[in-house]
Amino acid sequence: MSPANLRRWSWIHKWSSLVCTAFMLLLCLTGLPLIYHEELAELTGAEVEAPVLPAALASHPPRADLDQVIAVGKARYPGKVMMFMSQEPEDPDMWFLTMGDHIDDPHFVSIGIDARTAKFVGEPPIEGGGVLQFLYHLHVDLFAGQWGKLFLGAMGLLLLVAIVSGVVLYAPFMRKLEFGTVRHGRTGRLKWLDLHNLLGIVTLVWALVVGATGVMNTLADVLLQVWQSTEVAAMVKSHAGLAPLDPKAPMASMEQSVANARAAEPGMQVAFIAFPGTGFASPHHYGVYMRGDRPLTARLVKPVLVDARTSQVADQRTLPWYLTVLLLSQPLHFGDYGGAALKLVWALLDVATIVVLGSGLYLWIRRGRSAQPKAAPLRAPAPARAGSAEGSR
């Protein structure tokens, strides 16, 4: 690499890292407990679970009528409207209703209802409640809503630039060294430079994927708006003259709507249902999202639009590529798709990334100090370069 190129890439690596490092440290530190949010919620009693049925019922568990499930939620919150209802794949005995004061109320409530008996079970705290909720907001939007999300997305893009420029710089640094060399100089700087390079290069692919999927997740609302204004708008052309459905008005039977959606996608189960007016539905339709039973098809839900006036299936489409990418970005960012072992590796990789970030910051703070006269024939402004000079003495 020519000296001019080396300087250029060093500059890119230095500034892309410096701008995002503080935020990335925050994201790594808050992300660590969030990997275990389910376990922590369970520990603090925040998890809402279906009760054990009496023996007589347990052998042939009943299935509650969906309109009755919704009615229980509405009886609890007469002033609120239905936004979503969903079911976890591992817990088909529960329905979780999301209700708000209006159709995109950010201060929604979640209501757990027994899917067999339509009895109220409990209200799980939003985003885990308490400390978990605090960490969640620090991680997702810095308590600044959509703009906070997009800001963190921009910081994530800088992280990707820092990773790529770091890989470019790996070659000139390691050309004369065996892979994994950790040297001990007179100062700690040489050791930390080698650790930075070693941990940076081994976590490369994971960090790129978690960084890129994190950026993708910050764009969720934007992508849903794109989908609304293109495909959903085309799907509801036949309703052009109609006023949007009033979320408080009575709508077509959910039991019938889901039965029709199931008939349209045989063999698939309901993952969640979006009510008219939400980002996942149209102003006139329920968005019924069906999942398959294979690991991948369980993630890639298929939307069935059901007319919320007539219960008739209006349209079935596969999701556009950008929403497919968004759906796959969630597990690939959270690390929650491979059981306890994967979570543990996720946590360790997160810790390794903290070391990469911290050592990078340390190398910048201690920049220049290693540039002793005998070791630095090529003085360069970037921290990386000073280390390079020491490394090749």
Partner 1 sequence: MSAGRKLWRMPIVLGAASAFGLAAGLLGDGVWDWIAAASLALPLAVAWRHVRKAA
**Interface with partner 1, residue 3, by CB under 8 A:** no
Total residues in contact with partner 1, by rule CB under 8 A = 39
Q: Which amino acid is at 372?
A: Q
285-291/302-307 β-pairing: antiparallel
- Both tokens assigned to 255: 């039991």
**Interface with partner 1, residue 186, by CB under 8 A:** no
Distance (Å, whole) CA 190 – CA 391: 7
Residues 257-296 interacting with partner 1 (rule: CB under 8 A): 295-296
Binding mask 140-179 for partner 1 (x = CB under 8 A): ------------------------------xx--xx---x
Percent helix, percent strand, percent coil in the chain, to nearest 5: 55, 15, 35
Task: Tell me which stretch binds partner 1 (CB under 8 A): 94-102, 126-134, 190-198, 228-236.
Answer: 190-198
SS3 272: strand
Beta-carbon neighbour count of residue 127 at 10 Å? 18
Any idea how long the chain is? Answer: 393
Is the CB of 29 or the CB of 300 nearer to partner 1? 300
Residues 336-365 interacting with partner 1 (rule: CB under 8 A): 337-339, 341-342, 344-346, 348-349, 352
Contacting partner 1 (CB under 8 A), which of 107, 184, 186, 374? 184
The strand order across the sheet containing 109-114 reads 120-122, 109-114, 91-100, 81-88, 269-274, 285-291, 302-307, 313-316
Binding mask 92-131 for partner 1 (x = CB under 8 A): ----------------------------------------
Is the CB of 137 or the CB of 191 nearer to partner 1? 191
Is the CB of 128 or the CB of 335 nearer to partner 1? 335
- Both tokens assigned to 189: 């700087």
Binding mask 303-342 for partner 1 (x = CB under 8 A): -------------------------x--xx----xxx-xx
Residues 194-213 interacting with partner 1 (rule: CB under 8 A): 194-195, 198-199, 201-206, 209
Q: 356 burial class (0-12, 13-18, 19+ CB within 10 angstroms)? A: buried
Q: Where are the beta strands (DSSP E) in the chain?
A: 81-88, 91-100, 109-114, 120-122, 269-274, 285-291, 302-307, 313-316
Smallest distance, Å, CB 347 to partner 1?
11
Question: Which of 172, 199, 187, 173 shows the shortest CA–CA distance to 28?
Answer: 199
Is the CB of 117 or the CB of 203 nearer to partner 1? 203
**Interface with partner 1, residue 299, by CB under 8 A:** yes
Distance (Å, whole) CA 384 – CA 331: 34
Smallest distance, Å, CB 384 to partner 1?
17
Smallest distance, Å, CB 201 to partner 1?
5
Which parts of this chain interact with partner 1 (CB under 8 A)?
A: 170-171, 174-175, 179-184, 191, 194-195, 198-199, 201-206, 209, 295-296, 299, 328, 331-332, 337-339, 341-342, 344-346, 348-349, 352
